[in-house]
Chain A
Amino acid sequence: EAQVTQNPRYLITVTGKKLTVTCSQNMNHEYMSWYRQDPGLGLRQIYYSMNVEVTDKGDVPEGYKVSRKEKRNFPLILESPSPNQTSLYFCASSPDRGRRHFGPGTRLTVL
């Protein structure tokens, strides 16, 4: 089954404790991206990647890092999480610049 998977689905952590949210797609898509979704603010793009080793900042990249060492994986790294990064995070992949296939989401709470 073609899909985008994210892990973990739910995470509660404390301020400053480094964490990684993994994202993997099995559709051989070149393009992948990360979004956060907050009430009243909608979906905002954090980072995106056009291909292996090619990444660029989205609209809200501060406090996040990404890497794209393999085509299928695009992890989101929070080196020192803060409470304002509490949010619902979505990874997406796309075969081109159009349709995004979204993962199921990761609900992160930073205390």
Chain B
Amino acid sequence: TQLLEQSPQFLSIQEGENLTVYCNSSSVFSSLQWYRQEPGEGPVLLVTVVTGGEVKKLKRLTFQFGDARKDSSLHITAAQPGDTGLYLCAGVRSGGSNYKLTFGKGTLLTVNP
């Protein structure tokens, strides 16, 4: 059973569209991170959310941590081709080892010009 379920798995949209990617779990997390990975490179951290209900914005990207700290979402406004990549959520499970970061399988986003 995957601890963190990401949906959708694949997403192909046109430039200028909005989209939302979800990261869900039945477990509570002390923190959740979002990474973006481009082909041939390692993941790069976008944001960390730690408080239930927290909302963080990074330019056109909005990240939200669920009130119960079991889920998170990433919303992109007016997507651009440069947003193309694999988006990964990762969490430190509440009550578990703080050194174990568990990743979801990712959402592969393609933004077409």
Measuring CB to CB, which residues of chain A are less than 8 angstroms from any residue of chain B? 4, 31, 33, 35, 40-45, 48, 50, 56, 58-59, 90, 92, 97-105
Chain A residue with the shortest CB-CB distance to B106? A42
Of B52-60, B67-75, B93-101, the one with at least 4 CB within 8 A of chain A: B93-101
Contact indicator A48/B45 (Cβ below 8 Å): no
Contact of B103 among A40, A44, A50, A101 (CB under 8 A): A44
A-B contact pairs, 21 of them (CB 8 A): A4-B42, A35-B103, A41-B105, A42-B88, A42-B104, A43-B43, A43-B88, A43-B90, A43-B103, A45-B100, A45-B101, A48-B99, A58-B100, A92-B42, A97-B98, A99-B48, A100-B33, A100-B101, A101-B45, A104-B42, A105-B41
CB distance from B96 to the nearest CB of A (A): 11
Query: How many residues of B are in contact with the other chain, CB < 8 A?
Result: 23
For B80-102 the 0/1 string (1 means CB < 8 A from A) is 00000000101010000111111
B113 contacts partner chain A, Cβ-Cβ < 8 Å: no
CB distance from B107 to the nearest CB of A (A): 11
Please classify the interface of chain A as helix (H, G, I), strand (E, B), loop, or mixed, using the class held by over half of its residues: strand
Given known contacts A43-B88, A98-B48, A105-B42, A48 and B100 CB-to-CB distance under 8 angstroms: yes
Contact indicator B33/A97 (Cβ below 8 Å): no
Q: Chain B contacts of A101 at CB under 8 A?
A: 45
Contact of A102 among B31, B43, B48 (CB under 8 A): B43
Contact indicator A40/B105 (Cβ below 8 Å): yes
Contact of B33 among A44, A50, A98, A105 (CB under 8 A): A98
Q: Chain A contacts of B99 at CB under 8 A?
A: 31, 33, 48, 50, 56, 97
Contact indicator A99/B45 (Cβ below 8 Å): yes
Given known contacts A45-B100, A56-B99, A105-B41, A97 and B106 CB-to-CB distance under 8 angstroms: no
Contact of B40 among A33, A43, A102, A105 (CB under 8 A): A105
CB distance from B63 to the nearest CB of A (A): 14
Q: Chain A contacts of B98 at CB under 8 A?
A: 97
